[in-house]
Amino acid sequence: MTAPETGSLRTGAPRAPHAPGQLPVVAVVALGGGLGAAARYAAALWWPTRSGGFPWATFWVNVTGCAVIGVFLVLVTEAVSAHRLVRPFFGTGVLGGFTTFSTYAVDIRALFGAGSAATALAYLAATLSAALFAVWLAATATRRALSWRRR
């Protein structure tokens, strides 16, 4: 059996060697993630949540981030030919660092812990619904705008 350091933990099969072209991808994801996380942190400072209150900053960060990714992915997959590092930098890095579904989960747990079950359930449902709707609406609107532009 292969040691975990040199094989896949799932199958024990040897890992594929690292592609030399991956370092720039990792670097731009890290850079973008830092920028996105800093923007999210700024939003949380600007709009703090009181104990037991609805986490509006996290809610709007996630909904806005989902809308932006809806626009972005349509543009880079259907409208423009982007450099190979644009999608990892902005999509995975910036928007992955900006949106915060881990904080969403922590917020829900904290609301339940504070005895605010109704707020926790409202936040759970509202964030999920609004985020999915935002990405769908943004992608649909971008596709329509592109089709009107092409006419």
What's the CA dihedral at 92, 96, 97, 99 to 10 degrees? Answer: 160
- Structure tokens of 73? 């992915």
**Of 1, 110, 3, 114, which is closest to residue 58 (Cα–Cα)?**
110
Determine the Cα angle at 100 with ends 46 and 121, to 5°. 95
Give the largest CA-CA distance in the chain: 60
pLDDT at 62 (0 to 100): 96
The span from the CA of 69 to the CA of 118, in Å, is 30
Cα within 13 Å of Cα(30), Cβ side: 6
Task: Identify the residue whose tokens are 């993630």.
Answer: 33
**49-62 pLDDT, tens digit each:** 888 899 999 999 99
pLDDT at 21 (0 to 100): 78
Contact 88, 33 (CB under 8 A): no
- The structural domains of the chain, with segments of one domain joined by +, span 22-150
pLDDT in tens for each of the 151 residues of the chain? Answer: 444 455 545 666 666 666 667 999 999 999 999 999 999 999 999 999 888 899 999 999 999 999 999 999 999 999 999 899 999 999 999 999 999 888 999 999 999 999 999 999 999 999 999 999 999 999 999 999 999 988 7
- Structure tokens of 83? 């450099």
Distance from chain centroid for Cα 138: 15
What predicted TM-score, i.e. pTM, was given to this entire model? 0.81
What is the Cα gyration radius of the chain? 19
